[in-house]
Chains A and B, each alone.
Chain A
Amino acid sequence: MEERNMPRADFVTSLILITFGSSVLITSLRMPRLEEQQVNPFSVPGLVPGLLGVLIAFLGIVLLVRSIVQKGYRLDISGETTRGFLAAETTRRFALTILLSVAYAMGMLGRMPYPLATGLYIFVFIVIFEYRRGVSLLSQWKRILLAAGIAAAASGAVTGVFRYAFFVTLPR
């Protein structure tokens, strides 16, 4: 992140931290004191999380004050900046990486056989990132074939080595 944007980022983060710290404190105060079990009051479950909630909220306030001094409250969010951010190549690559990886880890695993899910993920990842825009998909058949080969080999090797050579538990 550029230095000039940091006070704005800090302003937003500090608000999140204050909210988070306060929530932790409130939840900790609501935790039972276990008086019916006659426990020592200094050993109640909410003691340490409550203290941490106070500390995190306090540090959030320090960050908030600092960001206000650096005029970080001027967020300058406009349609133009948002459109620029969404259209940037880095945003596209970032979003695709997360989307594909989350789809594999949280969507496919456990719902289909592991080697199939893994092979499919690697194949789709390589094809999507190596796909050249403006050129037809069919004409990139060598790239697609190589991706399929790598996906099959990697999936097979990983399953074979972990599951059968080292007896490591893998998802279904």
Chain B
Amino acid sequence: MLDAAVYLDKLALFGRILRQEGLFVSPTETEDAVSILLELGLDDRETVKAALRTVYAKSREQQLRFDRVFDSFFLSEDVIRALDKKHSEQELERAKARQQAEQELADPVYSYDDAQREAFALLSEEEKERLRKLRDKYLGENSPNQKLYAGMVHSIISRSIMEQQMLMEDAAVGRAAVDPEMGLLFRDITLFEDREIPKAVVYIQDIARRINGELTRRRKKSGRSAALDFRATIRRGLETGGSFYRLAYRKKRAKRKQLVVLCDVSGSMIQFSEFVLRFIQALNQASGASRVFLFSEELYEADAFHLQNMDLFRDYVRRSGVYGRGTDLGGALKRINDMRPPALSPATMLLIISDTKTVNLAHAAQELLRARGRAGKVFWLNPIPERKWKYIGSVQTLAELCTMISCSTLQELGAACRRLALM
């Protein structure tokens, strides 16, 4: 029997890291972990891992996160040695790169901080060359604008730091994304391959069917607030000797929503938009008065009849002439806001499907505000994962003005559509 204190310290730290990774770790879990380790001991690493995983991880996704944390926390001896070696090699390389950057960045105007020097070392040769040219051009000018130059250097370096940060975060979630067991439900929609689309469509239909069932049940339950159904109540009463033991109520009629869907169909968005439209169709929630608009630089109202066959959606979008051009959200919203008779009213819900990348952000924000005033509700489905929003200015600006929901995966998209349908 081993001393519980030996485990407690380590497990408390391990628990904190797991909590940072989003797992539920309460004192109960730690208590369970200690008691089970006291019984099983620490001799067999795999047994310890399986036991702790049972206690701490409560879903498949959490199991994957747990495995990652466990493998980096409870290292085997060989791994520690290998890591040590790798670490010293990396340190050497970094020092070399820093030294090289010191020489290259001997700039009389702009002084680079340490993070920027490291970022410079990781820049592509093209970006480095761009910086060199910028410096030469600046030094060659008669009346150089120091502020403008410093701003440009800062912008190039900052973008590089941001890209590196995003790459690191992608690598961190990469394992979950490529795990075949996690399936298409948990993978980035925009990264689906063509051969995976039929399967994704099956998933969409399946999720939509469940949401429809859920909505029907909810309507059934909420029916109690409606009027009493005398005939059904009397009929039921006959089963219990004439006592009106169970009352029957009239069913409420399900109201379909009047949606105005604004779909971004630029190159990177078409797959996502197609999946959202499939969801909306399968959800059977849109009424006949609903309208779908496709936009890039231009706005195009989609024909409801053609949109019934989503397998031909891409051909249809290509024929409409809006596919593959730049994105002007402000322009599209303005046209919808100015429509006569009005497309938006307090009874409509405006659903914007876009990654927020647009020309003239200020105009887009202004028109979104106008649309918010006209429509009953405004929702934004964004295919960019929420963890990346902090790096993208347009997302931050537009998310302030409406309810923005991240749906980079089919599972998130299903959850978002369920939320919309329940409103």
Q: Are these two chains actual partners, yes or no?
A: no
Residues of B at the A interface (CB closer than 8 Å) are none
Residues of A at the B interface (CB closer than 8 Å) are none
